[in-house]
Structure 1
Amino acid sequence: MITEVLARDTAAERPEAPVHPVEVISPILAGHPTELGGEYYVTVLKKLAKTRSVKRYLEVGVCKGDCFSQIACDRAIGVDPAFQLSQNVTSGKKDVRLFQMPSDAFFDEVDVKEALGGPIDLAFLDGLHQFEYLLRDFYNTERLCAPRSLIAMHDCLPVGDTMMPRSISDALRLSRGTRHEGWWTGDVWKVVAILRKYRPDLRVICLDAPPTGLVFVTNLDPDNATLSRDYCRIVDEFAAVPNTLQSVAEFYGTLPILPTSAILTGFDHSLYFRA
């Protein structure tokens, strides 16, 4: 059961105003590297998991375990094609299961609800940074959720063009010697645009969590097959969308970017993620 946090209408607890997208994107387009101003994305996930009393957690793209190790819950599943664990991923958990395999194979072969003992409460998707892969991870995860579950996606708000190539080797080469050396977001920002167009029923919330944004999705519908049914057509459509900062700016210009503090207080948590 996910705990509900009740709102209290006091001036001290009213939500902060959204960060205007122009404040985030304009300096980048002008060639001035910037950083997002909220709390670190792992901190946001850790606090939100605690606030919501998350029992069942899924993470795709565990790698070293930096985020996975910070989530307290009863049961947790981690997926990665090549684990490089350097953290205690069992910390704060009663039951941990790790699957070293590609996420497509994982969703095909593993009974996730059986392993977790019910639908996912919180999922964090941080796998391969190409939009078609994240899109599959999203709709495969949604069918294992309840309507009020949360799906979080990472790297959807790039803050420089050197991190945006679809190839990690290109990103590493282009970012060498820059302020964002080693950063790679690929083109997964397109998934947010896809959800806005093809799944307007979803509640999509974008946060200024450094280093490269955090997007939460709720009001989920496990029975909605739109994304899987039209997958090939959607991928063809968005593959043709230029993967540029200008395209990112045009899209996020229509979507508020919230400060991370907006969902970490009792008032706003109930406002945005009422459980």
Structure 2
Amino acid sequence: MEGTHSSRRINAIAEAVGAKTYLEIGVADGDTFFAVSVPSRTGVDPYFRFDPKLKESKRNIFWPITSDKYFMEVAKKKFDIVFLDGLHTFEQTFRDFCNAILVTHDNSLVVIDDTIPSDIFSSVPDMDLAISTRIREGGVGAAWHGDIYKMIYAIHDFFPRLSYLTVSDNGNPQTFVWREPRRYFSPRLGSLEAISRMTWFDLQGNMDLAFLTPEKYAIAEIISKLSPSSV
């Protein structure tokens, strides 16, 4: 299967660090899932756009349930890489992220999709409203990221022992998170309530905390942190 920008980035890191287990939340058509070249792959989606029974194998395990149910009732093993691409809302993604941290280890990577909206319309949590409003205002396109950008600030303010950066080119912006204490920790928003109330304009004023990094340098940085020789 032809790869996506997500699988390209994940594969480059997975190969370099020897990742063997992969978890994807929000599989949909499986364009990224099936293109990820990790030996053991687990996909979670309540509404797969293919018949998971026909695709299951020793390598591919599918759970047609919500991520909440998966983490609560199923998840037991640790994963080397977790890709979060579920609902485009801050609340659900934050919950998925907190749960994902519990099924990772010290050398794992968590990738969060859609963390920088392409415009003010794309930042609206409701997809239909985002697209219809863009069209009404004379815009074009169906780009939609929701308010997942708030995850950057939740991680920055409340997870000082996690480091992150955001890939800013060659595809959709994604934030990569790994376990490494950050120096000079200082919360900026101060509360989850303040973060939950952020707008697209607040994002623009705090874009420095996204740590935007070109893909080439981001992948090299992550590999240097997660490769076995660095541990």
User: Which residue is equivalent to 1:69?
Assistant: 34
Deviations 1:163-189 (A, max 9, x none): 11111111221344745x222111011
RMSD: 2.7
Choose the corresponding residue for 1:103, options 59, 67, 72: 67
* Counterpart-to-counterpart distance in 1, 2:58 and 2:15: 15
Choose the corresponding residue for 1:159, options 89, 104, 118: 118
**Offset at residue 255 of structure 1 (A):** 4.1
Residue 16 of structure 2 contacts residue 227 of structure 2 at CA under 8 Å; is this kept in 1?
no
Choose the corresponding residue for 2:91, options 132, 135, 158: 132
* Counterpart-to-counterpart distance in 2, 1:271 and 1:47: 12
3-state SS, counterpart of residue 121 of structure 2: helix
**Offset at residue 153 of structure 1 (A):** 0.2
User: Which residue is equivalent to 1:112?
Assistant: 76
Which moves more between the two structures, 120-129 or 205-214?
A: 205-214
Instruction: Return closer, same or farther for 1:147/1:105 CA change in 2, 3 Å cut-off.
Output: same
Choose the corresponding residue for 1:173, options 113, 126, 132: 132
Write out aligned runs for 1:39-78 (5 A): 40-78=5-43
* Counterpart-to-counterpart distance in 2, 1:64 and 1:135: 23
3-state SS, counterpart of residue 116 of structure 2: coil
3-state SS, counterpart of residue 112 of structure 1: coil
3-state SS, counterpart of residue 115 of structure 2: coil
Write out aligned runs for 1:1-275 (5 A): 40-85=5-50, 94-113=58-77, 119-176=78-135, 178-179=139-140, 181-219=141-179, 235-241=192-198, 243-244=199-200, 246-265=201-220, 268-275=221-228
* Counterpart-to-counterpart distance in 2, 1:69 and 1:130: 25
Per chain length, whose mean CA-contact separation is higher, i.e. which structure has more relative contact order (CA < 8 Å, sep 6+)?
1
Q: In structure 1, list runs of 5 or more residues that go unmatched.
A: 1-38, 114-118, 222-232
* Counterpart-to-counterpart distance in 1, 2:7 and 2:89: 21
User: Which residue is equivalent to 2:184?
Assistant: none
Residue 63 of structure 2 contacts residue 70 of structure 2 at CA under 8 Å; is this kept in 1?
yes
Instruction: Return closer, same or farther for 1:271/1:163 CA change in 2, 3 Å cut-off.
Output: same
3-state SS, counterpart of residue 186 of structure 1: coil
How many equivalent residue pairs? 214
Percent of residue pairs bearing the same amino acid type: 23
**TM-score of the aligned structures, taking structure 2 as reference length:** 0.82
Q: In structure 2, list runs of 5 or more residues that go unmatched.
A: 182-189
